[in-house]
Amino acid sequence: MVKVGLTGGIGAGKSEVSRLLESYGAVIVDADKIAREVVEPGTPGLAAVVAEFGAEVLTPEGILDRPKLGGIVFNDAEKLKALNAIVHPLVRARSDELEAAAGPHAVVVNDVPLLAENGLAPLYDLVVVVDAAPETQLDRLVRLRGMTEEDARARMAAQASREKRLAVADLVIDNDGPLEALEPQVRAVWERLRESAGR
C-alpha cells in the first residue's frame, strides 16, 4: 500500500485530480467529506455536537446547521477547540477504517486541503501537490465559483503560500492550463503511485 497526501490551493483543481485518480482505481479518503458524514443525523458525532453546543445548532429537520455552528465557533478559539475535539477523532477513525479496508497493494489518496498548513506531510509516503498560478486560482474562483474578487483573495491568503506547498511536494501536477492538459499528467502520476504501491 502507498499512502498519498493530495493537496493544492483553493481553485487549483485538487477535486478534479482526486476524481481522476478515483476513476483509475485509487481509494480516496476525503477528510472534508468524512467530516460531514460523521455528524449526519443519527450519528454519535451529531449527538456529541448537540450535547456540547445545544439543540440550536440543528435545523428544524434535525440536520446540523453548519452556518450557525460556524458562527459560534469561528470567533471563539475555545469553542472551535471543543468542536475539533469531537470531530477530528471521528474523522481519523473513519479514515483509518477506509485505509485498512483498501488492501495491501492499494493506492490510498488522502485528500487534505490544509496539508501544508498543518505540517502533515510526514504522515504520507508521497505528497502530490496540484499547482496553479495565483492568477489562475483567482480567475477560477471568481468565474467558476461566483466568488467576489475580494472574497477569493481572502480565501487564498488564508492558505499556505504556493512556495510552502511546493516545498512539501514529492510530485507536482501543473494545472495552469485547460482540463485536457490535466488528464495526461494525472495518468502519469497514477502510474508512479501504482509502481510505489507494488513495491
Mean predicted lDDT score pLDDT of the chain: 94
Query: For residue 58, what is the DSSP state?
Result: B
Is residue 78 domain-shared with residue 43, that is, in the same domain? yes
Is residue 16 domain-shared with residue 97, that is, in the same domain? no
Q: Mean per-residue pLDDT for 33-39?
A: 95
* pLDDT for the residue 158: 87
The Cβ of residue 108 has, within 10 Å, a number of other Cβ atoms equal to 23
Kindly tell me if the per-residue pLDDT of 114 is higher than 90: no
Which of 102, 126, 152 delimits the end of a domain?
A: 102
Encode pLDDT of 54-76 as tens digits.
999 999 999 999 999 988 998 88
Residues 9, 114: Cα–Cα separation, whole Å? 9
* pLDDT for the residue 199: 76
* pLDDT for the residue 75: 81
Is residue 80 domain-shared with residue 140, that is, in the same domain? no
Is residue 118 domain-shared with residue 64, that is, in the same domain? no
CATH of the domain at 145: 3.40.50.300
Number of domains in the chain: 2
Which of 45, 68, 102 delimits the end of a domain?
A: 102
Is residue 20 domain-shared with residue 113, that is, in the same domain? yes
Look up the domain containing 135 and give its range: 1-26+106-199
Which of 71, 102, 133 delimits the end of a domain?
A: 102
Q: What share of the chain is helix, strand, coil (3-state, %, to 5)?
A: 55, 15, 30
Q: Mean per-residue pLDDT for 190-195?
A: 96
pTM of the model: 0.84
